[in-house]
Structure 1
Amino acid sequence: MKLSTKGRYGLRALIDLARYSEEEPVSISSIAARQDISEGYLEQLMALMKRAGLVKSIRGAAGGYVLAKSAKEISVGDVLRALEGKLEPAECAAFHPEKGCKASANCVTKYVWQKINDSINQTVDEIHLNELVEESKVLGENEENTEKACSRK
């Protein structure tokens, strides 16, 4: 399975939003600057995530975006499905009766595709935004310590 920039950038943006929106809404421009994503593209991604019920927009001078629910309640799978659609690396017609697969009755490979699909979905559904926020804080602290150590030399 290969994720597009929608999935990759959108997940980065949502982790950023979760990290910085605890006190107040976060502007598109601040997320874009920290994540090096164009504002126009980020607006498109936020619209998709808003439609999926992951974020809310707040209007006004102090407006921006906030999470629509707790970071503990949003999985990586929720984000990726909102941006990418189904996460099937192999779209097997045997699992989509409307597409009709002539070989379905005798096809053994459909079990391989189903196992891969289930594995991917289970993995992304077990990782939640709050875990990634905590990891980003640890990485940020490590980066700051490295910069401080390098500047002393």
Structure 2
Amino acid sequence: MKITTKGRYGLTITLELARQIGTGPTSLRSIAEKKNLSEHYLEQLIGPLRNAGIVKSIRGAHGGYILNADPSEITAGDIIRTLEGPIVLVESMEDEEAAQRELWTIMRDAVRNVLDNTTLADLLANESKSEPDDGYMFYI
């Protein structure tokens, strides 16, 4: 299974909306500019996310998009499945011999487990842990 830019940018959109909770709707233009992405491409991705109930659109002059649930309730698996389809590592596993089929099943289930147990809130929490500490300056 290869996660394409659809899945990656879908996570980018929803993470940015999660960061903006409480500040009102966020435009795709602002996300595109901030992340240096194509606004047109993000527009193609937001439709399926809206149809799946992950995001909600707000109309008007100050409109844009907001998450339709708390970041702790939206998993990476929700977003990836919406934009990429089912999580499948090997096509036609039933054609494989039993030993290989078992391996592919274990791997598929592990990937599903990670995606389904990682929320947007988890990703944001990990993001703050990986920020470099700006308290020290080193010179060489």
TM-score (norm 1): 0.80
Residues 114-133 of structure 1, C-alpha deviations (whole Å, 9 max, x = no match): 11111100011111001212
Letter in structure 2 aligned against 1:135:
N
| Structure-2 separation of matches of 1:64 and 1:23 | 11
Provide the C-alpha distance between the structure 1 equivalents of 2:129 and 2:102, rounded to a whole number of angstroms.
40
What is the match of residue 10 of structure 1? 10
Q: Which structure has the larger Rg over C-alpha atoms?
A: 1
Partner of 1:112: 103
Partner of residue 135, structure 1:
126
Map of 2:114 onto structure 1: 123
Name the residue aligned to 1:63.
63
> Aligned partners of 1:75, 1:20: CA distance in 2, in Å?
17
Task: Report the AA paired with residue 71 of structure 1.
Answer: P
Alignment partners' CA distance in 2, 1:56 and 1:124: 22
Counterpart check, 1:24 vs 2:15: no
Q: What are the ranges of 5 or more consecutive residues in structure 1 without an aligned counterpart? A: 95-102
Query: Contact 2:75–2:120 at 8 Å: present in 1 too?
Result: yes
- Please tell me whether the aligned partners of residues 16 and 31 of structure 1 are also in contact (alpha carbons under 8 angstroms): yes
The structure with the largest helix share of the pair is 1
Give the alignment's TM-score, normalised by structure 2: 0.87
Q: Give the Å deviation of 1:22.
A: 2.3
Shift of 1:134: 2.8
Rounded Cα–Cα distance in structure 1 between residues aligned with 2:137 and 2:48 = 41
Report the RMSD for the aligned CA atoms in angstroms: 2.2
Task: Provide the C-alpha distance between the structure 2 equivalents of 1:56 and 1:149, rounded to a whole number of angstroms.
Answer: 43
Q: Structure 1 stretches (4+) deviating beyond 6 angstroms?
A: none
Instruction: Please tell me whether residue 44 in structure 1 is matched to residue 35 in structure 2.
Output: no
Q: Distance in 1 between matches of 2:45 and 2:23?
A: 22
Q: Is the 8 A contact 1:13 1:35 kept in 2?
A: no
Q: Return the letter of the residue paired with 2:85.
A: G
- The answer for the alignment partner of 1:82 in structure 2 is 82
Is the Cα–Cα contact under 8 Å of residues 21 and 65 in structure 1 kept in the other structure?
A: no
> What is the Cα deviation at residue 93 of structure 1?
4.5
